[in-house]
Structure 1
Amino acid sequence: MNSEKSTQLLRPADHFSVLLSPTPRGARLARLLAVDWTRDRDLPHRVTEAAEHLVAELATNAATHGRLTGRDFRLALLTDGATLRVEVTDTRGDDLPRRRVPATNAESGRGLLLVEALADRWGVDLGPVPRKTVWAELDLPRA
């Protein structure tokens, strides 16, 4: 998937975007906002639940690994009726996501495995410098 999808013009109801502080509180707010947004669109429970976990992981990564003092991260949710796309943009384009398998802490570094398990597709778009956007997509059931 290329980054052109994230720049398509959508109806306002199909797009949500907010800047949040790169803190645990900002990551938690991202998750809560995503749940409300998906529920307001009557998306299936399975999709809402998966989106909640994806946003929680990607926002936590942005608040932990993408954090720069004084710079927020952006959460964007987009749907075209066939796909729900979750985007989290931070200002650490030099720190790309990667699976980590730490020797001493088995709980840390497993987030991308969760993203891979839940998302139908995911990836990273770079730029404009110094930003990166980590995105994940969920296919929506046909009506």
Structure 2
Amino acid sequence: MPTHLITRPPHPPVTVRVFTQRFSSTRLGARLARHLAVHRLDAWGFPYGTGFSDDVGAVVGELAANAVTHGRVPGRDFELRLAVLGGLARTGTLRIEVTDTRTERRPPGPDGLVDAPPDADGGRGLTVVAALATRWAVLDRAGVGKTVRAELDLAPGAYG
């Protein structure tokens, strides 16, 4: 009796852990989002104060600050979502998504990013995100608004 090899299409990444929270579109909300993100990472086994935790805190801080500065709609919150994708908590990818409800103010994607002038007071947040994240993108949101997604690949033993 002959044996047959069955090939299967690759599976989409498995979501191992997820954290989702809405925050007020204020500076306090942005700070709280950053604080809770690194706290959640610590609970997931990525210790507070490590390089990885600091990188994630910086990315969340920049994306949350952009959401409350450029994506704010009075009376509407922004949302932070963290997800570990992959087989184990220390391999795969950490996905960070910050969603706001302002559709018309859309940041440039990775291909349209321009460095801020040296004497500018701001305009470097997405440059920081681009430097720390493995990849990032601006996505349309169903209904109104947009999501800025940043992903950081995890390597076994690289963090913690």
Tell me whether the two structures share a fold, i.e. TM-score over 0.5.
yes
Cα RMSD for the two superposed structures: 2.1
What does residue 39 of structure 1 align with?
42
Output the TM-score relative to the length of structure 1. Answer: 0.85
Deviations 1:94-125 (CA, angstroms, capped at 9, x unpaired): 21113465669523001111010000000011
In 2, Cα distance between equivalents of 1:102 and 1:115: 14
User: 2:86 aligned with 1:86, yes or no?
Assistant: no
Gaps of 5+ in 1: none
- Aligned 8 A contact 1:47 1:140 in 2: no
In 2, Cα distance between equivalents of 1:10 and 1:73: 22
User: 2:106 aligned with 1:96, yes or no?
Assistant: yes
- Aligned 8 A contact 1:94 1:130 in 2: no
Identity across the alignment (%):
44
What does residue 108 of structure 1 align with?
122
Deviations 1:50-76 (CA, angstroms, capped at 9, x unpaired): 100000000000000000011000000
User: 2:21 aligned with 1:18, yes or no?
Assistant: yes
- Aligned 8 A contact 1:100 1:110 in 2: no
In 1, Cα distance between equivalents of 2:114 and 2:30: 20
Which of 101-110 and 24-33 deviates more? 101-110
Deviation at 1:129, TM superposition (A): 2.4
Equivalent residues, number: 135
Gaps of 5+ in 2: 1-11
Does the residue aligned with 1:67 lie in a helix, a strand or coil? coil
Output the TM-score relative to the length of structure 2. Answer: 0.77
Tell me which amino acid in the other structure corresponds to 2:120: A
In 2, Cα distance between equivalents of 1:105 and 1:18: 35
What does residue 73 of structure 1 align with?
78
Deviations 1:78-97 (CA, angstroms, capped at 9, x unpaired): 00241001100000122111
Where in structure 2 are the equivalents of 1:55-66 lying within 5 Å?
Answer: 55-66=60-71
What does residue 148 of structure 2 align with?
134
In 2, Cα distance between equivalents of 1:10 and 1:83: 9
Greater helix share, structure number: 1
